[in-house]
Structures are given as structure tokens and as C-alpha cells.
Amino acid sequence: MAQLWQDGDLHGLVRVLGDTSTEYDTKMDAAGALGNLMGADDDDDYLDIVAVVVAAGAIPLLVELLRGGSNQLSRSEIAATLETLAFDNDNLAAVVAAGALPQLVELLRGSWGEGRAKAARTLTIFVGGCNNDIAAAVVAAGALLPLVELLSVGSDMGRANAAVALTMLSSRTIKAAVVATGAILPL
């Protein structure tokens, strides 16, 4: 596993994600390595790495890890990796189609502050680069109420991320739903 990461073997790391005989923690390490490799400072490298990761089939495997884990730290790291992939609209649509939204909302409802903040940030990226259909899917997944709650009881970062997500949602055609959820008073 460490050798795959050091070599930058993106296909090998994605294979680890999908290997049914691999333990969950090892899969999380592979997901973390992918996230680190995609976090390259060079924009050209970033785009190339993301393209290889997506072509290798990582999106549904990452969403499955997000679905299968009980550790909120691990799940929040997966959310951050999906966020990195979602900067591209086609990838964002694939992440949503793979079923990430209900899992992100579940993480948003969790008890761990940093996990909630990361989930809110990921939803912010999803909403910021999306069309109205994806914004409506975020609402349909049940994100509004946990985002509003995070405004009142979240960490500083969680509150900031929730405020940005709600602002972006209210600029879409779903403004009435944001207002009806009670977002105005905490903002």
C-alpha cells in the first residue's frame, strides 16, 4: 500500500478501494492517498490526476466507502476527496449519481464537529458548481435542516460552511425552501 502511494500508482490505489478482500482501514488509507495525490499544487498535475482517478472508477468506490464507514473522521476525509473530484461538473454529476448526497447529509447530522464542517463544505462545493437539478437534489436529500442547525451549534468553520451553502442554495430557484427551513434568523 505504501509503495503504491509513493509510486503514485493511481490505478493500484483505486483497485485497493474496490478489492473486497481488503480491510476497511486499508481502503481508507488508499482513499487518503488518492486525496493527497489529487491535492497537488500544480493545476496541470491536478487535472491529470483527477482524470486518471475518475477513469479508473474511483467515484462509486469512494461513495461506497462513505456509505460503509462508521468512523466520522474517515468519512469526513472521504467527503473531502469527493469534494476535490467535484470541482468538475461532470464529476460532480457522477458523484451525485453514485449516491453521495444522502451520505453527506448523514455526516452533516453527525455529532463530530469537524465531520459536520467538512460535510457542509463539500455540499457548498456541490451547490456552487452545479445546476438547479443538483441543488434540488441537495434539498431533496434533506440537507437544509442540518445546515440551518449547524448555523447555531456548529464550530466556526461549520457555521461558515453552512452559511455559504445556504446562501448558494438561496440564490437558486429553491430560495423559498431555504427560507421555510428557518435559515434567515440564524444568518
The pLDDT tens digits for 117-127 are 999 999 998 88
**Is 0.75 topped by the overall pTM?**
yes
Would you state the pLDDT for residue 171? 73
Residue 92's pLDDT is what? 92
The average confidence (pLDDT) of the chain is 84
d(CA 94, CA 16): 20
Residue 157 has what pLDDT? Answer: 93
Q: What is the CATH number of the domain that holds 162?
A: 1.25.10.10
Q: Check pLDDT > 80 for residue 13.
A: yes
Among the listed residues 166, 157, 60, the one whose alpha carbon sits nearest the alpha carbon of residue 112:
157
pLDDT band at 82 (very low <50, low <70, confident <90, very high): very high
Q: Tell me how far apart the alpha carbons of residues 154 and 113 are, in angstroms, rounded to a whole number.
A: 6
Range of the domain at 153: 2-180
Report if residue 187 sits inside a domain. Answer: no
How high is the pLDDT of residue 62? 95
pLDDT-based confidence at 89, cuts 50/70/90?
Answer: confident
Q: What is the mean pLDDT of residues 93-108?
A: 94
Report CA-CA distances (Å) from 142 to 18, 47, 103. Answer: 28, 31, 11
pLDDT for 131-183, tens place per residue? 788 888 998 999 999 999 998 888 899 999 999 998 888 876 566 666 666 66
Overall number of domains in the chain: 1
- Is 185 a domain residue? no
In a domain, 186, yes or no: no
106 assigned to some structural domain: yes
Of 30-44, 69-83, 130-144, the least confident = 30-44
